[in-house]
Every structure is written in structure tokens, then in C-alpha cells.
Amino acid sequence: MALAKRIIPCLDCDKGRVVKGVKFLDIRDAGDPVEIAKRYSDAGADEITFLDITASSEGRETTVKTVEAIASQVFIPLTVGGGIRTLEDIRTMLNAGADKVSINTAAVTNPEFVREAAQRFGSQCIVVAVDAKKVSAEGEADRWEIFTHGGRKSTGLDAIDWVRRMVDYGAGEILLTSMDRDGTKIGFDLALNRAVSEAVDVPVIASGGVGNLQHLVDGVLEGGADAVLAASIFHFGEFSIPQAKQFMAEQGITMRLDIN
Amino acid sequence: MNNVAVIDYGMGNLHSVAKAMESLCKDVRVDVTSDAGRILAADRIIFPGVGAIRDCMAEIRRLGIDTIVSEAVRQGKPVLAICVGMQALMDSSEENGHVDCLGLLPGTVKRFGGDQGLLDADGNRLKVPHMGWNCVQQRRSHPLWQGIADNSRFYFVHSYFVAPDDTSQVAGATEYGHEFAAALSKDSLFAVQFHPEKSQHSGLQLLNNFLHWNGTGSTN
């Protein structure tokens, strides 16, 4: 009887369509985020993260409609990220039915934005997404820096100092992605996860590198994660959410198993 | 027609709770409003709230709706308070220094952990906010618990919790470092710290029970 660790499937969307491929065998339209979000929710996902990678402003209007449609049918928490730069962007997404917004680049370019956002809307809905990459050499003490632009651009910011600062400014949760592991399927960067989790009081979501169910377990038990985010292992039907939850529970992790 | 007023005082996502109720029942009409007359004309009232309590209380007072909930309860109208809405019912909150609240239920709102931090039974540090799915132990039977198994999980997100003076008002309790009141009930008022509109089947069941509750049957 304790707080459960969370599994969060992530949908990457462009102009209202899920990209990066979703290959459920029995789904009518594999690109429809509403249908996919509903499917994950029915399967026992604890939250949904919707990451908007749309570049154009017309496309973003589609995103708002999609968020509205998901929020009308899926009654679990919904986080929306991608292109959140102004207080108005946050208001738009919360009004559309998002429970939290995830701020990434805008936090780096203007850290005060996080403070203003948390003051205006409350820390509970402000997630700061952090893309970190290891910069220490072999044999040196571990050190990670914050990167932007999909891991291509270094900011020179130390990852641990940065997350502490973001929480101090009012971030209610940290979404931590290892750019070294993203897409590799070799597991989370557990040392990074543990360092961040120990540095801050707020929950940390581990992301980047999941290839199998043991990786999810390691993220929680060794990385100290409060939640694990994954896309491809669920999208391609390699593993189902109930399977992942069962596996994690068998390793002694508290999970929400009975969703009825 | 089942008319539900959702009190709108500019704090947070009211879309979800309205949509959740509309998904449950065809003949429900949800009015998201800050108009005192419309609120009191509804069959039942939802008092939501997210964000900082000081801002919530300031808006409630600015809109002149600080007596609405007590008036509704006096009339025996079913009222469901959610999250910061529940906290606003208490005497005061220690958030933002000290904030005087509505004083409908005796007790205060305190922060998890304080300066010492928060530990579980095994001595592990617990994160604040308390965020995610936790079990709610039903302390007594109530029409709003109907069809919901004891210890079902609901979705929480909060850094402050309600400490009621009158423990007989606790309808549900949850453990996070220590036990706290997850649900309070008094007459036609039911208050929950979790978000039923985000708690999938159990949450929708609770909202459905609320839509069919006549405000009586509370056992205290």
C-alpha cells in the first residue's frame, strides 16, 4: 500500500499524427493519437505524454484539437510537451485539457520562464524536460551537461546544477532523457538517473534507452526513478503495458495493477 | 436533466472534470461558471482547484463566491470539492506563509515533510509533491464509495495535505510518509484530495456516484 511507480508511454506527434511508427496489430489507424492514447489508457498506462514536434504554427492548431480530443476520452493525466515557450502556450494547453506541460528549450533560453510558469499555474503542472549527455572522460568523476537541439548543441550547463535550479524555480517534476542512450535500446543511464534523483526532492521520470522490461526495473531500483517513460517498446508491440507492470511488480516494485 | 455547476475561479483545468461527467451520463448539463446565481441554481456543485492556495482564495473572494459552498451545504445540495478545493474548505493553510481559508471544516493544511524531509516506513526518502497513484482506504461507507473497492488507487498531485481537527469527518485515508485525509465528508459535502477526473475507472465511478447522490446517507 504505497505510492505506485508510473509507466508513461510517449506519443511523438507531427501535425496531429503519431510519428516514429506505432505498429499495433489490431489498430484501425496507427497514426491517430487519440486512438493510441485511449488504447494505452485502457491497457493500464499511468499517464500519457504527448510530445509535439510540429514546426509550423498552423500545425500547432491541430495539436490543440488533438489534445482536446484525447482529454475528452482519456481520464488519466496527460502531459503535453514540445514548443512550449510562453505563458500563453501553457494556458492554451491546460485549457485544451492537458494536466501538465513539459518545458525544454525555453527553460534553457530563459530560465525565468519556469519561475513565472510555476507561479502562475502552480508547480504541479510544470515539468522541466532535461536532455543530458555525459561529458566527463573515462576515469574522471561522472559529469553531464545539458544539450539542446536533439543533443547536438551543448549549453555548458552542468546537469545536476541545472535540475536543482529548475526545482528551485518551481519545476514540479523532471523528465530526464539521456542523449547518450536515446534510441539505443541498451537501457537508461542509471548513474545519471541516480545523481539527478538524489539531487532533487521532486519526482524524476527516466527516459531514453529502454529496450526491454529489465531496463524499466533498473531505472526504478538502481536509477531511483519515480516513473519510466518509453515509446518504441510499446509502440511496436514488443511488450504490452500490463506485461511491463506485471514484470516490474514481480521484481518488488509497487505498481498499479488492478485498474478496475 | 441533471445540472452540475463547476465553480470557475480561473484556477486550472476545468475541461477534464466537465468532460468526465459528460462522458458518464447523457442527461447531464455541466455549467462552468463563477456566477453565484447559476451555481446555486444547479442540482449539484463541483468545487475544483489547482495551483497556489493564496491565489485561489484571492480569486474566490474577488468573485464574491466565498459563501457559496456553505450556502449550498446549508441547502443540502451535494457538493464535491477536489484537491485545492478541498484544502480551501479548511480554516487555514500554511502554504504561502499563512492563508486564511473558508473555514467550513475545522482543521489546517500542512506541507509534506517540512524541513526534515519525508521518509517511508523503511527510512527511504519520499519525493514531494506526492504525485501518482496511491491507495485510498475507505474509513466508512458513503454513497460516493459505492462500487469502488476499498484501497483502490486514485491519482494524486499535491505538496500540502489536509489535517482535520475532527477525525470523524475522514471518509478516506492515504499513507505517504504518514497517514493523511484523502477524503472528508460532512452532510452533503464530500471533499477529495485526489483527482477523480484523472483516476480512470475508480475516479469515474466516484463522479458517477456523485451525479446520482441526493446529498444524504453520509453516516456521520
DSSP track, chain B:
-EEEEEE-SS-S--HHHHHHHHHH-TTEEEEEE--HHHHHHSSEEEE---S-HHHHHHHHHHTT-TTHHHHHHHTT--EEEETHHHHHTSSEE-TTS-EE---SSSEEEEESSGGG--B-TTS-B--SSEEEEEE-EE-S--GGGTT--TT-EEEEEESEEEEES-GGGEEEEEEESEEEEEEEEETTEEEESS-GGGSHHHHHHHHHHHHT--S-----
Known catalytic membership, residue A12: yes
Q: Which of B52, B129, B204 sits opposite A75 (nearest CB)?
A: B204
User: Which residue's C-alpha cell is 507492470?
Assistant: A245
ipTM over 0.90: yes
Q: What angle do CA A38, A76, A104 make, to 5 degrees?
A: 95
Measured in whole angstroms, how far is the alpha carbon of residue B8 from the centre of its chain?
15
Q: Is residue B219 part of a domain?
A: no
Mean pLDDT of chain B: 93
Which tens digits make up the pLDDT trace of A58-114? 777 888 999 999 999 999 999 999 999 999 999 999 989 999 999 999 999 999 999
Residue B194: CATH number of its domain = 3.40.50.880
Residues in chain B within 8 Å Cβ distance of A224: none
Known catalytic membership, residue B59: no
B189-192, strands of its sheet edge to edge: B28-33, B2-7, B44-47, B79-82, B189-192, B178-186, B170-176, B137-138
Q: Does A97 touch chain B (CB under 8 A)?
A: yes
Which tens digits make up the pLDDT trace of B62-91? 998 999 999 999 999 999 999 999 999 999
Question: What pLDDT does A21 receive?
Answer: 56
Average pLDDT of the residues in B175-199: 97
Which tens digits make up the pLDDT trace of B125-150? 899 999 999 999 999 999 999 999 99
> A25-29, B118-122, B186-190: which range is least confident on average?
A25-29
Q: Which residues contact A186 (CB under 8 A, 6 or more apart)?
A: A209, A211
State phi, psi for B183 to the nearest 5 degrees. Answer: -150, 140
Question: What pLDDT does B15 receive?
Answer: 80
Residue A25 has pLDDT above 60, yes or no: no
| CA–CA separation, A155 and B197 (whole Å) | 39
Please, are residues A225 and A4 in contact by the beta-carbon 8 Å criterion? no
> A15-24, A228-237, B109-118, B162-171: which range is least confident on average?
A15-24
Domain count, chain B: 1
Question: What pLDDT does B50 receive?
Answer: 80
| CA–CA separation, A177 and A204 (whole Å) | 10
The yes/no answer on whether domain A6-250 falls in CATH 3.20.20.70 is: yes
CA distance A69 to chain B (A): 10
Question: What pLDDT does A259 receive?
Answer: 79
Domain of B90 in residue numbering reads as 2-211
How many Cβ pairs closer than 8 A exist between chain A and B? 113
